[in-house]
Structure 1
Amino acid sequence: MIEALADFHFIRAAWLLFLIPVFAVWWLIRPRSERSTQIPDGIAPHLAQALKVGDTDKRKLNPVDGVMAIAVLVTLAAAGPTWSRAPNPLIADTAPLVIALKVTESMEGTDLPPSRLERAKYKITDLINTRSGARTALIAYAGSPHRVAPLTEDANILRPLLEGLTPAVMPLKGDAAADALALAQNILADAETPGAILFVLDDIDPSQVQAMNSAEADLLFLTMLPEGERLVQLDALSSATVAPFSTGDQDVTRLKRGIHNAYVDALDEEDQLDWQDQGWILAWPAALLSLLWFRRGWVIRWAFLMLFITHPSGHAWAEGWKDWFLTPDQQGQIAMNQKRFSDAADLFQDPYHQGYAMLKAGRYPEATEVFSSLNTPEAAFAEGMARIRNREYRPAIAAFETALERRPDWPEAQHNLEVATAILEYVETTREQSDTSEEAGIGADDTVFDNEGARGQDTTVQAQTEVAQPMSADQWISAIDTDMQDFLRNRFLLENQVQSQ
């Protein structure tokens, strides 16, 4: 609350000048209305009291007071009060998060059945599910840290990689939490906005804690210990958020709140993001005050005239009452907050927000059409995401290349370009193998033996050949059969070899 007050200001402060004529009119009209109720001099006091209608001396609020109060509220709303930044829909819904998971033999302890590591995976999965639309990266560390997955919004990429993490895939034993912190900060350095780093661990070497004090990002810790136990080493980190493991969802809720606070702080420090206009809040008290117009003696007849002047056409009435108070983009944002992405796509007029809503709603062809009409690196990146989810791999590659042309050295775009290229190569290779029947198993002229039927004699049979049917796109993807643990083990070993050289 204190930070919000420190950031409070008006976006369009020049509108506050209209308060001067508002108060001037108020000052001139109110005394005149009071003098009109006074009894002329020369009348006896007891007769003057009898001639008065009502107890006007006790009347503190007049119709002009209500009108001027509404004018003040509307003027303040037009000035655009604000105290927080508006999020960019193409960047993230919440702060970027890097999860550093400790993968050691101690994490295989069974005091949290089935094991600390498995329960940690469950908690990470729950946290990812609550951050729908937000980017999350994954790091595994023991004696050395390794990036498992870059920042991504797709939870389906993180889950299989997370399941494949076991102490057996880690090339070195130990506790390199400080090195994991450095790797996490490098990942966040490439993000559009500052984010947070979450360590999921059961213990930490005291020598590693000192490096945590100099962390640039917000630090969070999820301690995988039985309820009631804590890590005393983390007491030295006064600015970190420590969430002890709980059998319920209290720990995940606390972590989510800490990540959200990190996002709010990041928006306040990000000058490239627009301030969020909060003037709409003042519309509610102004609307409540306007109800006084319908009281006897308070009716302002020109209010209905102004209503018809501001809404002269029948189209506005057909759209409903929301159009009187909210713009289409504001209605679209409300739908986005309620996760009604398809409705939001139909309501938004801003192309960025509209395309993003279409992408979230799974309307990939429409999102592609919107993003392709924009000439920004973010639009090209979003177009590539829409195309790759629609299994249009060649156009997706072209879109990511365009994004890199518009913003060179963009790590996320470079990573997605490599992923799209690898998928395209795999699909084409699988299609060629399917078309040439290289994986058909038994083929023509293969020799088989039937000792019972031929009494031990060798016989040659002609296997029936069938025309190989091309595999569908879904079959190509589902045909991937990779041992994730072997993949991670080999990749981590290769990374260590490269670093040692």
Structure 2
Amino acid sequence: MIGTIADFHFLRPYWLIFLIPIALFWWAARPRRSFGLELPKEIAPHLAEALKLGAEEHRRMRPIDFATIAMTFAAVAVAGPAWTRAPNPLIADTAPLVIALKVTDSMNETDIAPSRLERAKLKIADLIEARAGAPTALIAYAGTPHRVAPLTEDANILRPLLEGLTPAVMPVKGDAAADALVLAQSILGEPETAGTVLFILDDVDPSEMPELSEASIPLFFLTMLPNGQSIAQLEGQSRATVVPFTGDNRDISRLDRQIQSAYSSALGEGDRVEWQDRGWLFAWPAALLTLMWFRRGWVIHTMLALVLFARPDGAYADGWRDWFLTPDQQGQVAMNQKDYARAGELFEDAYHQGYAKMKAGQYAEAAEIFSQIDTADAAFAEGIARIRNREYRPAIAAFETALRRQPNWPEAHYNLEVSKAILEEVESTREQSDTGEESGIGADDVVFDNETGRGTDTTRQSEAGDGAPLSADQWISSIDTDMQDFLRSRFVLENQERSQ
């Protein structure tokens, strides 16, 4: 409460000058108190007061009083009272989160069924679901940390990678929690919003604690131990939040609330975040007081008709927002209500419109909009939309465009490599499926015109029945490459690059 009072200010204080003419108007327009003749002193005081002319009129509220109060509220509302900061509308409503999962042999203990690691994966899936639409990255660490997935709002990217994490894929045994924190900070980089890091673990090497204790960003720990057991090294950590494992979703709900709270606190400390205009809170009482003017004798009855039927088409019920909000403001309202499809139709700003359509699952339309914006962010967003729409070649081209416009962009580099890897797997699987190496279909059923293009232009001859070509989703689901092998190879390669 004290902080709210200290932060209270007006965004447009010059509008408060209208309080002066409002006060003068009230003073000049309000009827003066008028008493009749002095009554004899023998009359009882309470009777004399009742007999005085104008006494009742002085006591009751008059129309001018309601009008003055309404105008005062309106002037304060227009002045823009503010005491809290508002997040940037271009970023997610929650802070970026990096999840650092400990993947060691100890996490295979079965004191939490089916195992600590498998239950931790389920907790991560639940947290991703609770943070739907929020950017989340995943790190796996043992003796070395490895980025499994960059910051992404698409849970479908995280889930298959999460399933492939086992101690066998980690190239070095140990506990490098401090190095995982450094990697998490590099992933967060310099975001527009405050980021947080969540460690999911069952123990911490004491030698790692000094670096964790001095972290400059909020840290959260989910301890994967049965019966609410604590980790001694984490006790007394004033700058970290420790949440014990629970068999239900209480731990996830608590983490979600705590992360949101840390995000809100960080927004309040950042001067780069705009103040939230709370004038609408004062506009409501002004509107309610204005309704008093519709009493008989208080206002011309035609005023209601002028307000409600001023538009020629009479569309006052559905179109009232057009009187007060711009299309982009209406689109943001729809975004806040998670009505992304409607927001995509309301926005006039191209980037906002494309983002809303991508959130609504209209990836083709979103990609087309982003392709017409000449910025690195738009090209990156186009790549995300293309890859979600299974358009891997255009996605690669979009990420390459983003890197041309903004070189040394880690996320764009990473997504470019992921797109190429997915395209490689899809086309390899398509070749195996089409040539019959795996499915048993005759090699003569498919003819490739160009081996270098790997089936970009093909002619397929199939018999009637079940010979329909595989869809992109079927290609992906039929990929034989084990995710554990993929992650193991990638982690080994990363360690080799670090040692060079």
Q: How far apart are residue 238 of structure 1 and its match?
A: 0.5
Give distance in 1, aligned partners of 2:314 and 2:405: 41
Aligned to 1:254: 254
Q: Say whether the 8 Å CA contact 1:190–1:411 is kept in structure 2.
A: no
Say if 1:163 and 1:439 are closer, same or farther in 2 by CA, change over 3 A.
closer
Q: How far apart are residue 316 of structure 1 and its match?
A: 4.8
Q: How far apart are residue 97 of structure 1 and its match?
A: 0.3
Q: How does 1:138-177 map to 2 (within 5 A)?
A: 138-177=138-177
Structure 1 residues 220-264: Cα deviation after superposition (integer angstroms, max 9, x where no partner): 111112234222322332121111112222211111112112322
1:359 matched to 2:386? The reply is no
Q: How far apart are residue 328 of structure 1 and its match?
A: 4.3
| Structure 2 letter corresponding to 1:237 | Q
SS in 2 for 1:362: coil
Q: How far apart are residue 384 of structure 1 and its match?
A: 2.2
Q: How does 1:212-227 map to 2 (within 5 A)?
A: 212-227=212-227
Q: How far apart are residue 403 of structure 1 and its match?
A: 2.6
Structure 1 residues 313-333: Cα deviation after superposition (integer angstroms, max 9, x where no partner): 436515255556655444433
Give distance in 1, aligned partners of 2:421 and 2:5: 50
Q: How does 1:346-385 map to 2 (within 5 A)?
A: 346-385=345-384
Q: How far apart are residue 27 of structure 1 and its match?
A: 3.6
Give distance in 2, aligned partners of 1:128 and 1:471: 30
1:413 matched to 2:409? The reply is no
Q: Say whether the 8 Å CA contact 2:228–2:245 is kept in structure 1.
A: no
Q: Say whether the 8 Å CA contact 1:90–1:378 is kept in structure 2.
A: no
Aligned to 2:34: 38
Q: Say whether the 8 Å CA contact 2:294–2:301 is kept in structure 1.
A: no
Moved more, 131-140 or 61-70: 61-70
SS in 2 for 1:317: coil
Give distance in 2, aligned partners of 1:156 and 1:140: 18
What TM-score results when the alignment is normalised by the length of structure 1? Answer: 0.84
Q: Say whether the 8 Å CA contact 2:204–2:233 is kept in structure 1.
A: yes
Aligned to 2:133: 133
Moved more, 381-390 or 211-220: 381-390
Aligned to 1:393: 392
Aligned to 1:287: 287
Say if 1:376 and 1:62 are closer, same or farther in 2 by CA, change over 3 A.
farther
Aligned to 2:53: 52
1:476 matched to 2:475? The reply is yes
Aligned to 1:113: 113
SS in 2 for 1:409: coil
Give distance in 2, aligned partners of 1:404 and 1:88: 24
Moved more, 285-294 or 249-258: 285-294
| Structure 2 letter corresponding to 1:58 | R
Say if 1:424 and 1:167 are closer, same or farther in 2 by CA, change over 3 A.
closer
| Structure 2 letter corresponding to 1:133 | G
Give distance in 2, aligned partners of 1:107 and 1:423: 30
1:344 matched to 2:340? The reply is no
Give distance in 1, aligned partners of 2:284 and 2:340: 26
Give distance in 1, aligned partners of 2:136 and 2:86: 21
Say if 1:428 and 1:117 are closer, same or farther in 2 by CA, change over 3 A.
closer
SS in 2 for 1:403: helix
Q: How far apart are residue 170 of structure 1 and its match?
A: 1.9
Structure 1 residues 158-209: Cα deviation after superposition (integer angstroms, max 9, x where no partner): 1121122222222222222111111111111154433000011122122222
Aligned to 1:460: none
Count of residue correspondences: 476
Aligned to 2:498: 499
Structure 1 residues 44-86: Cα deviation after superposition (integer angstroms, max 9, x where no partner): 7878954636733433x33222212221222222222333444
Aligned to 1:20: 20
Q: How far apart are residue 10 of structure 1 and its match?
A: 2.7
Say if 1:489 and 1:216 are closer, same or farther in 2 by CA, change over 3 A.
same
Moved more, 350-359 or 49-58: 49-58
SS in 2 for 1:182: helix
Q: How does 1:49-88 map to 2 (within 5 A)?
A: 49-50=50-51, 52=53, 55-59=56-60, 61-88=61-88
Q: Say whether the 8 Å CA contact 1:185–1:216 is kept in structure 2.
A: no
Structure 1 residues 429-487: Cα deviation after superposition (integer angstroms, max 9, x where no partner): 55566666666758689xxxxxxxxxxxxxxxxxxx97897543333323322212222
Say if 1:156 and 1:319 are closer, same or farther in 2 by CA, change over 3 A.
same
Say if 1:437 and 1:147 are closer, same or farther in 2 by CA, change over 3 A.
same
What stretches of structure 2 of length at least 5 have no aligned partner? 445-460
Say if 1:349 and 1:286 are closer, same or farther in 2 by CA, change over 3 A.
farther
| Structure 1 letter corresponding to 2:79 | A
| Structure 1 letter corresponding to 2:157 | I
Q: Say whether the 8 Å CA contact 1:84–1:264 is kept in structure 2.
A: no
Say if 1:309 and 1:168 are closer, same or farther in 2 by CA, change over 3 A.
closer
Give distance in 2, aligned partners of 1:435 and 1:183: 42
Structure 1 residues 264-315: Cα deviation after superposition (integer angstroms, max 9, x where no partner): 2343455554433332222222222223224456x23389269539944436
Say if 1:199 and 1:388 are closer, same or farther in 2 by CA, change over 3 A.
same
Identity %: 62
Say if 1:438 and 1:271 are closer, same or farther in 2 by CA, change over 3 A.
farther
SS in 1 for 2:200: strand
| Structure 1 letter corresponding to 2:388 | R
